Amino acid sequence: MKILISNDDGIFSPGLIALAEVASQFGEVVIFAPDFEQSAMGHAITIKRPLTYHRVKFIKGFESYRVNGTPADCVAMGLYHLGKVDLVLSGINVGSNLGSDIWHSGTVAAAKQGVILGVQSIAFSQVINGEEPSYEKQKPYIAEVINMLTQGDQPRLVNVNLPEDPVGLRWTHQSIRHYNGAMVEGQDPNGRKHFWFAATPLSNPDEHSDRWAIDHNLVSLTPLRLSLTDEEWLQKLI
Ligand code: MN
């Protein structure tokens, strides 16, 4: 099995290496990842300048390339150069991608790009609370997920979130919570005003959602689809 790995935290992220280490149990791993952090870039693609990529020699022996583009660019570039790829993996993102985060996530977008280009894809993100991330508790679950999703009839696009102390796996739906969307105002050293996004959830997660699973120390697996059409409304309108 040939596996393309990307992320949005950049080619030197420890999460990328942890994911490559697990994935290498399942097949040949090649990494195409952004040369700089691209978190919260969503599904942006680069169209106003050319893209290039360069071999990086010291990523724990994995064949690795850094791309001067977005996560979606990296997957497109990797698939273009590798020919037949069986699986695209994205992550492990430093921080979870739950609920509305899915709209902004470069990690999920890299996986989406894989599916758009015809390859089954899985996005991995991990809850991090301040300290240096460790992946040892999560690695067996990542292996279990890859093993399960590469056998038989499985969803093409799955968003996986890993808690700090996982105790099991759970299929979930994307939680839709109301955010206050607050901007927090501050001042730079020159006295100029600046603003930070500080979106905090206003409601508790609904049961069996991705956020609920993480609150219960369960690895959350959410099957996603590319279609954004509101089927219920469409039926009413046609
Ligand atoms: Mn990120």
pLDDT in tens, 103-147: 999 999 999 999 999 999 999 999 998 778 899 999 999 999 999
Question: How many whole angstroms from 106 Cα to the centroid of ligand 1?
Answer: 7
The pLDDT score that the predictor gives to residue 131 is: 78
Question: How many whole angstroms from 46 Cα to the centroid of ligand 1?
Answer: 18
3-state SS assignment for residue 161: strand
Query: Pick from 173, 82, 88: which is nearest to 124 by CA?
Result: 88
Cβ neighbours of 133 (radius 10 Å) = 18
Question: How many whole angstroms from 48 Cα to the centroid of ligand 1?
Answer: 23
Query: At 215, which helix (H) or strand (E)?
Result: helix 210-215
Match 């809850």 to its residue by tokens: 127
Question: How many whole angstroms from 189 Cα to the centroid of ligand 1?
Answer: 27
Alpha-carbon distances of 85 from 4, 81, 118, 162, rounded to whole Å: 7, 10, 9, 25
- Percent of the chain topping pLDDT 70: 98
Match 């120390």 to its residue by tokens: 217
The pLDDT score that the predictor gives to residue 151 is: 96
Question: How many whole angstroms from 10 Cα to the centroid of ligand 1?
Answer: 8
- Assess contact for 181 and 199: CB atoms under 8 A: yes
Query: At 19, which helix (H) or strand (E)?
Result: helix 14-23
Question: How many whole angstroms from 222 Cα to the centroid of ligand 1?
Answer: 18
- CA distance linking residue 237 with residue 107, whole number of Å: 34
The pLDDT score that the predictor gives to residue 223 is: 98
The pLDDT score that the predictor gives to residue 12 is: 93
Q: Where are the beta strands (DSSP E) in the chain?
A: 2-6, 28-34, 53-56, 63-67, 87-94, 121-126, 157-162, 168-171, 183-187, 193-197, 218-223
pLDDT less than 50: residues of the chain: none
Question: How many whole angstroms from 104 Cα to the centroid of ligand 1?
Answer: 10
- Token readout for 122 is 């899985």
Query: Pick from 155, 143, 156, 141: which is nearest to 218 by CA?
Result: 141
Query: What pTM was estimated for this model as a whole?
Result: 0.95
Question: How many whole angstroms from 153 Cα to the centroid of ligand 1?
Answer: 29
